[in-house]
Amino acid sequence: MAEQDAVASVGSRGDSYDNALAEALNSLFKAEVIRNLGPWQGLDDVEIATAEWAHWFNTFRPHLSLGGMTPEAFRVEHQLCVTAGVDTVAELLNAR
């Protein structure tokens, strides 16, 4: 890379975990969309399926890392807590 005056766009030298999240998401996408819904007629079909999957993934798919919540539900809950100045929904409910 140095010979070409190229600069790494992601990560740092010697860190094998810096790209793990992106790789995990790409793996899910390939398994759930690319391999299961093809064959594809063209790039437009892939782009539409990608947009639909991203919406589903962020709106309806529960995530274990969020305690089984969807990202959208987590975002709404977080915003309610921030607005109310509390750390958890339990605090928010007790304040009422």
**What are the percentages of helix, strand and coil residues in the chain, rounded to 5?**
65, 0, 35
Q: What pLDDT was estimated at residue 61?
A: 94
Amino acid identity of 9?
A: S
Give residue 1's pLDDT: 59
* Model pLDDT, residue 7: 63
Q: What pLDDT, on a 0 to 100 scale, did the predictor assign at position 2?
A: 63
**pLDDT (tens digit, 0 to 9) for every residue of the chain, 96 residues total?**
567 666 666 556 666 667 888 898 999 999 999 999 888 999 999 999 999 999 999 999 999 988 899 999 999 999 999 998 888 877 766 765
Please state the domain extents for the chain: 20-61, 64-96
